[in-house]
Amino acid sequence: MENRKRRVVVTGIGMATPYGFGAKKFWDSILEGKSAISTIKRIPLEGHSVHIAGEIKDFDSWGKLEPKDAKRMDRFTQYAVVAADEAVSDAGIDENCTDPYRYGVIVGSAAGGFDTFEKQHHNILEKGPTKCSPFTVPMLIADMGAGRISMRHHAKGVNKAIVTACATSAHCVGDAFRTIQYNDADIIIAGGSEAVITTLGIGAFTSARTLSKRNDAPEKASRPYDKDRDGFVMSEGAAIIVLEELEHAKKRGAKIYAEIVGYGQTADAYDIVAPDPTGAGAAKAMEFAVKDANIKPEEVDYVNAHGTSTGLGDIAESKAIARVFGDLDTNKNLKVSSTKSMHGHMLGATGAAESIVCIKALKEGIIPPTINLDNQDPEVANLNYVPHKAVKANIKYALTNSFGFGGHNASLLFKKYED
C-alpha cells in the first residue's frame, strides 16, 4: 500500500470552450454568470426542433494548429490538442527533464468524430465507397485525442481513452490520479473532448427527448433545479488537466493549483439513460471519494454538481448529495452549484471542465453560481445552490460529480494545496 501514499497535484490546465480559447476566459465568464449558449450556426436548422447549443464559433483551430495537421483531425481532436497545448505550457513541462515513459496521456471522448462520420458517410452515399477519405478511421476513433497529444508532447507512458458517456473525462482524471498514486507515472495529461454539435448529434439527442427547446431564449435554457427546466443544452469543447506527483512537481519548481485526494466510481445498474431515482449509485460514488481522501463528509465545502437541467437527473443527484453531506437543516456550510447553467453540457469533456471549476474555486476562494434558478423545484433537495451570483468562500475541499448514460458514476475530490 506504500505506493498509494504518493500525493498528486494539479500543475497545468487548458480549455477550449464556447467562451473561446483558454481556461482564464472560461473561469472569468462563469464567475460573471455569463451564458455561453446561443443559436447554432454550424449546421442547417431546418427540420430541427432544437436550435440552441454551447457552440464554439469561429474556431479554425484559432491559428494554433498547422493547416495540414488540422485537416487530418476531427474537431474533437483539434479541441483536445489545443487545450492540451495550453495545459502543458501552463505546467511548464520541460520534456528533457522527465522520463518520457513516465509521462502519459489519458484523454477520452464520449462520441469521437461525429462530424467526420457524417461527412464521410455522405461522401460514400453521393460518390461511392472509394471516395471515403483515407484519414477517416484515425479522424473518427475516440482515442485519437490521446494519441495526437502523446505524439505532440513526446509522452510515451500510459496512453488511453476512456469512454463512459458523460462521465468520460472524470474517469480519465480519476484513472490518471490512480496511475500516479500507484507509481506507474509521474506526469499525466488528462481530460476529455467533444464535438457533437452536428446534424446527427442534435437530432439524436432531440429524439431521446433530453434537450431543451427554449430556442427563443438560449441564455435562459439551461436551468438546473428550476421548476421550469425542460432538458439539458448540448455544448462542446475540451478540458485538459496536468496531474503530477508532488515531489516531481516541487523538484522542477512547478506552480501547484490544488491537490487531488479522492476518487469514487460506481454504476447505477438501473437504466440505459435514466438515473436511479433514489440516487444510490451517485451517493456511493461520493462516499467512496470522501473515504479515499480519509476525511469526513462534513469537511467538503463545495460540490460542483452534474446538474444537467433534466427533470429526473437534478432530483436524483440532489437527493444523493443531501444523503451524503446533509441538507440545509443539518449542514449550512455546504454550497452546491451547477456551472452547466452557463456553459452547457460538454458531454465527455464535462468532468474535466468541472474539475477545473473546483480547482480554480479552491485556488481563488470563490464559488461560481447556478444561473437561471428563478423558481427552485420543490422536488429537489433543500440545498444552497448558489443562485445567480458567485460567492466568496474559504474552501478546503471541493467535489465534482459526473454521470453518464449506461449508469456510469464518477466523483472527484480536490483539496486546497498545503505543503
Q: Which residues are catalytic?
A: 166, 306, 345
Helices (H) and strands (E) in the chain, counts: 13, 15
How far apart are the C-alpha atoms of 121 and 141, rounded to whole Å? 15
Element (H, E) at 268: none
User: Is there a contact between 19 and 29 (Cβ–Cβ < 8 Å)?
Assistant: yes
Instruction: List Cα–Cα distances, 66 to 148, 184, 193, in angstroms.
Output: 13, 33, 19
How far is residue 257's CA from residue 267's CA, in Å, rounded to a whole number?
30
Residues 6+ apart with CB under 8 A from 96: none
Total count of residues recorded for the chain: 419
Q: Using alpha carbons, select from 338, 320, 310, 339 the residue that is nearest to residue 405.
A: 310
User: Exposed/middle/buried for 166, CB within 10 Å: 0-12, 13-18, 19+?
Assistant: buried
Q: How far is CA 296 from the centre of its chain?
A: 25
Place of cell 454550497: 335
* Residue 272 vs residues 208, 306, 406: alpha-carbon distances, Å: 11, 17, 5
